[in-house]
Amino acid sequence: LRDGSGRLGHLHQGEQPLLHASAARCGEADEWHALLERRTGASIFTTPSATSSLEPARDVVLRTPPRLTRITPAIVSLADINAGLLRTDLGNGRLQDVLFPISLSILPASGVRRVAVASFRAPLFTDPKGLIPDTPTAEEPAPLSEEEIEATIYLPSTPMPAGGYPVLLAGHGFGDTRFGFPSALAIGQVSAGYAVVSINSYGHGYGPNTKLVLTRANGERIEIPARGRGFDLNSDGRIDSGEGCIQSSPANLVLTRDCLRQTAADLMQLLRVLRDGVDLDGDQRPELNGAQVFYIGQSLGAFYGTLLHAIEPELRAATLNVGGGSAVPTFVYGGERRADIQDLLASLGLSVPGVPGAGLPLRYEEVRIVDDPRLAAYQDFLALMEWAESPGAPLSFAPHLKSATLPGVPVKRTLFQMARGDETVNNPSNSLLIRAANMLESTSVYRHDLAVAQVSSIAGNPHTYLAGIGPLAASVIGFAAQGEAVAFMTSPGELIPDVNPFVALFFRNPIFERPKAYYEDLGYTPR
């Protein structure tokens, strides 16, 4: 209980309540009875530690042998590949062919001459419904099984260094796969001598029978397993893109919590596989240098990348691109996922006006008086969701990157990248993450508003700017942002390089900035 003067007390249930002062001041029982008469608020809540499940999960991972399995064909040359597609498993024996996310002809021209696929076993903490059972703080989470997880590896055509190629570990976004953003990153960075490695995050990649089908110039087709990790979460008989990650049913309000925690644990195991050396062709020489691994996560990849970076002592440096502090404000404030919240509200019998934020002010906005009981119920509901999500929310892990590192984990070199006016992970959610980390000085902002004013062909949602997809000007922006990330992570200090000269051919005025304050408004007009 807290009274108007800020003093605290505990109320113990019984016929004659016993009142005890907490903190420094101890008053008499009469004084606390008097406090009760002018109380201003009371709450009952639990206070779990956000890291209490993932830290012991790391210990489980440490005991799991990091075995690598080469998948035939282990390495495929892309020199004469002229077409590719994903044969996606939609469940119930249904397969659907979709074009490869990028033109395969671009890969060899960009220095990506070989692609490899391998797998490793990792402990699985989620149950068949995609949820991680609650575990008492003092107990270790018990893995419910193990999962064989496949990794895609893009290899450079440059001569291999003695210890293997340094690695860019790529974390893809929601609804994407290990063939989307990671392929775009390979186009931009493999020519510089980096290998790009990626896995499907939990709940992504469609079903387990998905395959990568490549076609050579002579018509020969090569089928490579591309096992997906999605499952039919909504029981509609179909596995859609990203299905299995977001938990938003009336019984489970955790959103991306367990998807993020499981993927972070998977990447911990992958780091150990890389550390032990990855020999893809059996010549006893590792192609990948496990001592030089750098993480780049885009969107959802920045969400689970925050958890991984805060927990994993072996990860040297990371770039967290367009990540957010929590799924709740990301979904609510005009984001593309607001429909998920609205559907959930409808299933609970709550009808809320469909406006961004539904009456909730952004930081620094004026106070709003809520006189609609539906909005009051909605705000209480969002608070409950944020509480349920917190053990897997990046917001909860961000302080451990620098200000309050976990036992055995050093201060992490971290670059935050965000896009002004991002319509998917909005700027207030970006700032929520960076504010929690207290690392504004390690932040780069792509000023999409300034870029569009100079080159109108790139107008639209800048959320995927790191991939460089679109007209040539967009590709230049993406390559510049990738170069900024790699230069920051591989340098000994924490200086963010100025990449504005790189884009000067298209943009006379700077479009990348080091912000002096947090962006707390949306930066765009919600549709």
Which residue's entry shows tokens 């924490």? 494
Q: Within 13 A of 197's CA, how many CA atoms are on the CB side?
A: 26
**For residue 513, what is the DSSP state?**
E
Neighbours of 377 (CB within 10 A): 15
Q: For residues 309 and 430, what is the distance between their CA atoms, to the nearest angstrom?
A: 17
Lowest mean pLDDT among 33-42, 160-169, 258-267, 387-396: 33-42
**Tokens encoding 359:** 């009456």
- Residue 127's alpha-carbon distances to 150, 329, 380, 440, 479, in angstroms, are 20, 27, 28, 38, 39
In the predicted model, what is the mean pLDDT of the chain? 87
Q: For residues 296 and 244, what is the distance between their CA atoms, to the nearest angstrom?
A: 23
- Tens-place pLDDT, residues 363-401: 888 888 878 887 888 888 888 888 889 999 999 999 999
pLDDT score of 10: 45
Lowest mean pLDDT among 50-59, 153-162, 183-192, 375-384: 375-384
pLDDT score of 45: 58
Note every long-range contact of 521-527, with CB atoms under 8 Å and residues 24 or more positions apart, other chains counting: 521/362, 521/427, 521/428, 522/333, 522/334, 522/356, 522/362, 522/421, 522/426, 522/427, 522/428, 523/420, 523/421, 523/422, 523/426, 523/427, 523/449, 524/334, 524/421, 524/423, 526/334, 526/356
345 phi, psi to nearest 5 deg = -60, -45
Which secondary-structure segment (H or E) carries 327? Answer: helix 327-332
- Tens-place pLDDT, residues 399-420: 999 999 999 999 999 999 999 9
Closest CA to 180 of 124, 255, 280, 98: 98
Closest CA to 41 of 91, 78, 6: 6
Q: Are 341 and 84 contacting, i.e. CB atoms less than 8 angstroms apart?
A: no
Question: What is the band of 77 on the pLDDT scale with cuts at 50, 70, 90?
Answer: confident
pLDDT score of 73: 73
Question: What's the mean pLDDT in 24-33?
Answer: 56
Question: What's the mean pLDDT in 448-465?
Answer: 96
With H, G, I as helix, E, B as strand and everything else as coil, classify residue 295.
strand
- Tens-place pLDDT, residues 126-177: 999 999 998 877 778 889 899 999 999 999 988 999 999 999 999 999 999 9
**For residue 315, what is the DSSP state?**
-
pLDDT score of 1: 40
Closest CA to 420 of 451, 454, 447: 447
Which of the pair, 77 or 231, is modelled with greater confidence?
Answer: 231
pLDDT at position 440 over 90: yes
Q: For residues 285 and 381, what is the distance between their CA atoms, to the nearest angstrom?
A: 55
DSSP annotation string for 472-492:
HHHHHHHHHHHHHHHHHHHSS
pLDDT score of 108: 76
Q: For residues 218 and 80, what is the distance between their CA atoms, to the nearest angstrom?
A: 8
pLDDT at position 487 over 60: yes
Q: For residues 305 and 168, what is the distance between their CA atoms, to the nearest angstrom?
A: 13
- Tens-place pLDDT, residues 321-356: 999 999 988 888 766 667 777 777 777 777 776 555
Lowest mean pLDDT among 23-37, 159-173, 291-305, 438-452: 23-37
pTM to 2 decimal places: 0.89
- Residue 453's alpha-carbon distances to 45, 353, 509, in angstroms, are 49, 34, 10
pLDDT score of 272: 96
Which residue's entry shows tokens 């929520």? 432
pLDDT at position 283 over 90: no
Closest CA to 177 of 143, 151, 215: 151
pLDDT score of 20: 41
Q: For residues 302 and 26, what is the distance between their CA atoms, to the nearest angstrom?
A: 46
Q: Is 71 exposed, middle or buried (0-12, 13-18, 19+ CB in 10 A)?
A: middle
- Tens-place pLDDT, residues 240-254: 989 999 887 767 778
Q: How many residues does the chain have?
A: 527
Question: What is the band of 106 on the pLDDT scale with cuts at 50, 70, 90?
Answer: confident
Q: For residues 213 and 99, what is the distance between their CA atoms, to the nearest angstrom?
A: 10
C-alpha 431, offset from chain centre: 15
pLDDT score of 252: 75
pLDDT score of 282: 81
Does the N-terminal peptide bond of residue 48 adopt cis geometry, omega within 30 degrees of 0?
Answer: no
Q: For residues 403 and 393, what is the distance between their CA atoms, to the nearest angstrom?
A: 17
Strands 288-298 and 165-171: parallel
